[in-house]
Amino acid sequence: MERLKVAVLGATGMVGQRFISLLEDHPWFEVTTLAASPRSAGKTYEEAVGGRWKLETPMPERVKSMTVLDVSDVARVSSEVDFCFSAVDMTKDEIRKIEEEYAKNETPVVSNNSAHRWTEDVPMIIPELNPEHTRIIEYQRKRLNTTNGFIAVKPNCSIQAYAPAVHIWKEFGPKRLAVSTYQAISGAGKTFKDWPEMEGNVIPYIGGEEEKSEKEPLKIYGHIDENKGVIVPAEGPEITAQCIRIPVLNGHTASVFIDFEKDPSKEELISALTSYVGEPQKLDLPSAPKQFIQYLEDDNRPQVTLDVDFERGFGISIGRLRKDTVFDYKFVGLAHNTIRGAAGGAVLCAELLTAQKYIGKK
């Protein structure tokens, strides 16, 4: 098939770089347009990024000489592409506005930003968990008065290490969760070079993260209200979260305590995780991990250095599931924050939307 033309908005930033690297040899999508702030517009991509390239892999040759456009030149960027990925860093109001302008220009937006996560007719997707939520796009298009344009978002990176397991266990009635996340510095767009104070350090605060960690899973577990044309978040489980920055480059770990309404055995819980097959696996999407969740039996796993790249960073690792003395069970989860938790999650979401025919050639 002819590849779809894609723009990366915020292409010079850390998440933008990850998009470019993940899409380098993508079978369905081709990055044809790069856009960033007016500071970068008019420069070649290589000049605009300068010393800010943050990935371990080198900058792909084909993007180096591409001229960066201004994100706010919506008509120009839209005219060049079939859809766009958004990873701009602006105020929430500005992001909401600019993403809506792209949608209204009939350019679908798959966003890494949080600005639209609570817009009621914007689907917030983890493709393995709630692929059916994309149906809300029909209602959103009516509101925006578009035939093609819409906005879809992926959730926060902090929830990826536990929200999937809890969803897969829904037959056992997850009731209450206490979560502590141990989050990598790349989640703040940083490396140790630009955040040396993090070496050997722990910071017990990440602005806004605890609220996202407690609430976002509920939208993913929610349902579509066909009368109102909105996604209604689930009422439970109750989640309390504490989010801590640790001196790790990539990989968010979560330590989770959980109560169930039913009384599942450890074997039932593990088997539900490892046998789970989601829509991306059924559709054989290009970025889909073959195994969505692996369960590690060794007491000292999952470990960031050994397990963060499981399934190219698209898979989730769970371990240490055992009975608890206060809650029913406790476990530890690990997910790659900039692949599954950011650009990779958005690419997988765009693949799902393409397979479902919400995104196509203009």
Ligand X SMILES: NC(=O)c1ccc[n+]([C@@H]2O[C@H](COP(=O)([O-])OP(=O)(O)OC[C@H]3O[C@@H](n4cnc5c(N)ncnc54)[C@H](OP(=O)(O)O)[C@@H]3O)[C@@H](O)[C@H]2O)c1
Annotated catalytic residues are 157, 252
Cβ proximity to ligand X, 55 vs 218, nearer residue: 55
Q: Which residues pair with 31 in a beta bridge?
A: 6
Nearest CA to 233 among 251, 260, 215?
Answer: 215
For the CB of residue 161, give the shortest distance to ligand X in the complex, in Å. Answer: 14
Residue given tokens 């989050």 in the structure block = 183
The reply on whether position 16 binds ligand X by CB under 6 A is yes
Cβ proximity to ligand X, 133 vs 212, nearer residue: 212
* Residue span 37-56 as binding mask against ligand X, x where in contact by CB under 6 A, dash where not: x-xx----------------
Please select the residue that binds ligand X; options are 84, 338, 349, 355, rule is CB under 6 A.
Answer: 338
Cβ–Cβ under 8 Å, residues 348 and 287: yes
What DSSP letter does each residue of 168-197 carry, written as one string? Answer: HTGGG-EEEEEEEEEE-GGGGT--TTT-GG
| Three-state secondary structure call for residue 238 | strand
Cβ proximity to ligand X, 86 vs 130, nearer residue: 86
What DSSP letter does each residue of 95-144 carry, written as one string? Answer: HHHHHHHHHHTT--EEE-SSTTTT-TTS-B--TTT-GGGGGGHHHHHHHH
At 232, phi and psi to the nearest 5? -100, 120
* Residue span 185-224 as binding mask against ligand X, x where in contact by CB under 6 A, dash where not: -xx-x-----------------------------------
The reply on whether position 350 binds ligand X by CB under 6 A is no
Please select the residue that binds ligand X; options are 157, 178, 308, 347, rule is CB under 6 A.
Answer: 157
Please select the residue that binds ligand X; options are 13, 217, 251, 319, rule is CB under 6 A.
Answer: 13
Q: What are the structure tokens assigned to 108, written together? A: 């679908």
How many residues lie near ligand X (CB under 6 A)? 25
**80-99 positions binding ligand X, by CB under 6 A:** 87-90
Instruction: Tell me 3's DSSP state.
Output: P
For the CB of residue 206, give the shortest distance to ligand X in the complex, in Å. Answer: 11
For the CB of residue 53, give the shortest distance to ligand X in the complex, in Å. Answer: 11
| Inter-CA distances, 134 with 12, 126, 140, 145, 301, Å | 29, 11, 10, 17, 35
For the CB of residue 143, give the shortest distance to ligand X in the complex, in Å. Answer: 24
The reply on whether position 112 binds ligand X by CB under 6 A is yes
Give one word for 315, left, alpha or beta, with left for phi > 0 and alpha for psi -120 to 50.
beta
Q: Which stretch, 36-44, 135-143, 302-310, 318-326, contacts ligand X (CB under 6 A)?
A: 36-44
The reply on whether position 21 binds ligand X by CB under 6 A is no
For the CB of residue 186, give the shortest distance to ligand X in the complex, in Å. Answer: 5
Cβ proximity to ligand X, 9 vs 137, nearer residue: 9
Cβ proximity to ligand X, 117 vs 133, nearer residue: 117
For the CB of residue 74, give the shortest distance to ligand X in the complex, in Å. Answer: 11
Q: Are strands 230-232 and 109-111 parallel, antiparallel or unpaired?
A: unpaired
CA dihedral 237, 340, 293, 183 (to 10 degrees): -60
For the CB of residue 291, give the shortest distance to ligand X in the complex, in Å. Answer: 23
Which amino acid is residue 94, in one-letter code? E
The reply on whether position 123 binds ligand X by CB under 6 A is no
Cβ–Cβ under 8 Å, residues 9 and 84: yes
Q: What are the structure tokens assigned to 225, written together? A: 């209200």
Cβ proximity to ligand X, 35 vs 269, nearer residue: 35
Which amino acid is residue 90, in one-letter code? M
- Chain positions contacting ligand X, by CB under 6 A: 10-16, 36-37, 39-40, 71, 87-90, 112-113, 157, 186-187, 189, 337-338, 342
